[in-house]
Chain A
Amino acid sequence: MNALNQTAAKSASGLLSIVFVALLGATVVFLAGHAQSATLHDAAHDMRHGTGFPCH
């Protein structure tokens, strides 16, 4: 593999990592603030009010 290909491969895997981490972050924020299971809601209730998420 020549240097150019190596750079391109590294760049693509870098972008993939970034997309993965961003999606993970979005999922975690969704679970924290928006998911509506009753158990999650009750446990997260005060945090949701105190963070400004739309709660119940």
Chain B
Amino acid sequence: MIQRLLASALFAGFAAGLLAALLHFAFVQKLVLLGEEYETGALVHYQGVAATEAAAEPVDHDHEAGTPAHDHDEPAAASPAKRNALTVLFFSVPYVGYALLMVAGFALAEHFGRRVEARDGVIWGLAGFAALVLAPAMGLAPELPGSVAAELQARQAWWLGTVIASGAGLALLAFGRGAMVLVAALALLALPHVIGAPRPDGFHGVAPPEVAGEFAARVLGAGLVAWVALGWVAARLWTGGRPA
């Protein structure tokens, strides 16, 4: 049992993580780098309006250009090859975690007599994406470097609560029976968004909103593809290894 769980999860997780890394480098990484150029002040957004304001009121006002929105050792200092190799390597980590959770879900469903078929993998992937990525992203959009956000611990706490509530809500929706269970499922799905994610004090991000919007949409799109692949591979491995 445990070997079958671990083997399916590890293989599916590494495969999906590799796909996620490929999609990241195809669609997302150049926006990360662009955001960092604004974050470090190498590029300055809003120069047009800053210039207009400067003309209107001759005060030294540079929109805090050059001030990083948050302070940390930029990994940009490392060589790009090393940085990208680490990114590829680290992309497999969350996907292995997601895969472990997913096959545990398969096993739990079967424990309660709900057989999982290979073709069910895609819908497990979609549901996993909704619970672990899309639901938290509705309050905490994927952050382009150079944007601002609320205090980290508060965001992480809201993220965790949202993932648990959304996962439980979707599981009840999928496997529960009866009107009360349906109501509880919908309440769990709605609750994090009724409470609301922690918001920043003000909107003084230094990266352009156009880039931030494109970045957030691409992160979600790439994540959706990787999650569907994860579910597809994991369910095939899980059912393929099923004892006769």
Contact = CB atoms under 8 A, between A and B. Distances in A.
Interface residues of A, number: 38
Contacts of A51: 20, 91, 94, 133, 142, 219, 223
B103 A54 contact: no
A21 B2 contact: yes
A25 B111 contact: no
22 contacts: A19-B104, A22-B100, A25-B104, A28-B97, A28-B100, A29-B101, A29-B132, A32-B93, A32-B94, A49-B28, A50-B20, A50-B28, A50-B29, A50-B32, A50-B87, A50-B219, A51-B20, A51-B133, A52-B133, A52-B220, A52-B223, A54-B143
B34 interface: no
B91 A47 contact: yes
B94, B97, B160 — most chain A CB neighbours (10 Å): B94
Given A20-B2, A41-B72, A47-B87, A54 B140 contact: yes
Contact of A38 (B73, B141, B159): B73
Contacts of B108: 18, 22
B145 A49 contact: yes
B5 A17 contact: yes
Nearest to A45: B75
Interface of B: 1-2, 5-6, 9, 20-21, 24, 28-29, 32, 70, 72-73, 75, 78, 83-84, 86-87, 89-91, 93-94, 96-105, 107-108, 111, 132-133, 136-137, 140-145, 149, 152, 155-156, 159-160, 216, 219-220, 222-223
A12 to B, nearest CB: 11
B72 A56 contact: yes
List the 6 shortest-distance A-B pairs measured between CB atoms, nearest first: A25-B100, A28-B97, A29-B97, A22-B104, A25-B101, A32-B94
Interface of A: 11, 13-15, 17-22, 24-34, 36, 38, 41-47, 49-56
Contacts of A14: 1, 107, 111
Contacts of B137: 52
Contacts of A45: 75, 87
Contacts of B83: 46
A52 B103 CA distance: 22
A45 B160 CA distance: 19
